[in-house]
Amino acid sequence: MIDPRVHRTAPSTGGAARTCVRATARVAAGVAVALGTACALGAAPAAGRVPAQDGEPAASIELETAAPTVGDRIAFDVRVTHPAGTTIVWPDVMGRWGPFEVLAVGPRRVLDGTAVPGAMVFVEHRVITATAFTTGTLQTPPLRLTAVDVGGATRTVVAAPIDVVIRSVLDPNDTAPRGPRGPVDLPTSGRWPLILGALSVVGALITLLVWALRRLFRRHAAAAVEPVPVHDFRSPLDLANAALDDLAAADLPVRGRVIEHYTRLADTLRLFVERAYHVPALERTTPELAAAFGPPGMRDVEVEPLLAVLSDADLVKFARIIPDAATARDSLADARALLGGLWGAAERRRIAAEAAAARAALPYGVSVSPDDGRPPSDASSDAAPDAAPEDDHRPSPDDDHDSPPGRDPFPSPGDGAAA
């Protein structure tokens, strides 16, 4: 049976040509679709860099920058394929990396997993940005990574080096030498540099003036508010009693501050010793202060109660032996009782020192009475007033030598009345 469509188109040569072209186009389209499908199927494993079917970790380096030149930023894509559950430890490549200088390391990214027989493989990659300042063929160093599986076992994965061709920015055919270039003229406006310089100088002068004025005002303000020193003319005994009164008013033991109570008590006594005895008691420990007063048996009897109170305060401050509130209050009474005796002993020492200084200041050959510190002539005159002659007249340059012999030139009021 004859196909009428073929029979109708047979007599026409142009129609046959068009039919042939349409058939050829359909065949080409089918071939293109088939090739596209095959390329997609073939490119799928390459995109994931899936290693062998056993699922072992593998690494590779690929150059992402095409035709790099000197000083360009070159991107290296480092990809690692590994089974599920494996952790990749990346090395620190910042700085010098073979002939390259690493500028940055991108974040780690993990692509979707790909199923292989017996395992699920993941692709993990990072982009290393580097640069080079040498032309020619350069090779990246091997990149060693560490893979840690689920069981904790480690394995070294090495990315093989690749060659990178660094081109020069100069024309290789241009070999003619050239002379040095001159300075480049920068376009500037005529007056703006002068204006900016003048403003900078004025600003610096204003800043310096403000700083000087502030310093001057602060100095005058400090001099104006400087407190006037107040001199306390009270005796060391009065000052110590006033400090003990303040300590008693604070009533620290009742408030649970026994250590602070004994600290202030010891400081008050030590300050009194400094003022009365001129001994740096605040800077010495209790044994050092006892040695300053002399060996036992040679000290004043009033010193022993003072050392006892200071020793009790040391036990509270350093050994943390905390007494009760009643005992702490009694320590105030003990301190008040010993202050009077210490002040008396200090005054006796002061008087004896002044007497010794007075004896040392007398002329050579003049002795001093051991009783009252006066020369023996004065002492004998006071001791025997009855031995004086009846006529107690002592001649002086002002005496009237023309007066009668028995007349007293300095008559008393009673004598004048009697006359």
Each of the 419 residues of the chain gets a pLDDT tens digit; together they read: 334 343 333 333 444 434 443 444 454 444 443 344 333 333 334 333 444 345 688 999 999 998 999 999 999 999 998 888 888 999 999 989 999 999 999 998 887 666 555 556 788 889 999 999 988 999 999 999 999 988 889 999 999 999 999 998 887 787 778 788 788 777 766 677 788 889 999 999 999 999 999 888 887 776 666 566 677 788 898 999 999 999 999 999 999 999 999 999 999 999 999 988 888 988 999 999 888 888 888 887 888 888 899 999 999 999 889 999 889 888 998 899 888 888 888 888 889 888 888 888 887 766 655 554 444 544 444 444 444 444 444 444 444 444 444 444 434 444 444 43
Q: What is the DSSP-derived secondary structure letter of residue 388?
A: S
Residue 140: the pLDDT is 94
Q: How far apart are the first and last CA of the chain?
A: 203
Reported residue count of the chain is 419
What are the tokens at 29? Answer: 């389209």
Q: Rounded to an integer, what distance in angstroms lies between the CA atom of residue 289 and that of residue 296?
A: 12
Q: Which of 264, 344, 274 shows the shortest CA–CA distance to 310? A: 264
Q: Rounded to an integer, what distance in angstroms lies between the CA atom of residue 401 and that of residue 392?
A: 16
Q: Which of 59, 40, 51 shows the shortest CA–CA distance to 117? A: 51
Whether 311 and 321 have beta carbons less than 8 Å apart is answered as no
Kindly write down the DSSP assignment for every residue of 174-233, as one continuous string.
Answer: -----PPP-PPPPP--SSHHHHHHHHHHHHHHHHHHHHHHHHHHHHHHHHHSPPPP----
> How many CB atoms are closer than 10 A to CB 116?
18
Element (H, E) at 354: helix 325-361
Q: Rounded to an integer, what distance in angstroms lies between the CA atom of residue 1 and that of residue 190?
A: 101
Element (H, E) at 130: strand 119-131
Residue 132: the pLDDT is 93
Q: Which of 265, 259, 260 shows the shortest CA–CA distance to 240? A: 265
Phi, psi (rounded to 5 degrees) for 167: -95, 155
Whether 144 and 158 have beta carbons less than 8 Å apart is answered as yes
Helices (H) and strands (E) in the chain, counts: 10, 12
Residue 367: the pLDDT is 62
What are the tokens at 378? Answer: 């004065």
Q: Which of 334, 277, 259, 335 shows the shortest CA–CA distance to 290? A: 277
- What one-letter code names the amino acid at 204? A
pTM for the full model?
0.36
Residue 74: the pLDDT is 94
Angle made by CA atoms 78, 147, 132, in degrees to the nearest 5 = 30
Q: Where would I find the H helices in 225-302?
A: 236-250, 258-277, 286-293
Task: Domain ranges for the chain, please list them.
Answer: 58-166, 236-358
Q: Tell me, which fold does domain 58-166 have in CATH?
A: Immunoglobulin-like (2.60.40)
Element (H, E) at 6: helix 4-9
Residue 82: the pLDDT is 85
> How many CB atoms are closer than 10 A to CB 159?
20
3-state secondary structure of 135: coil
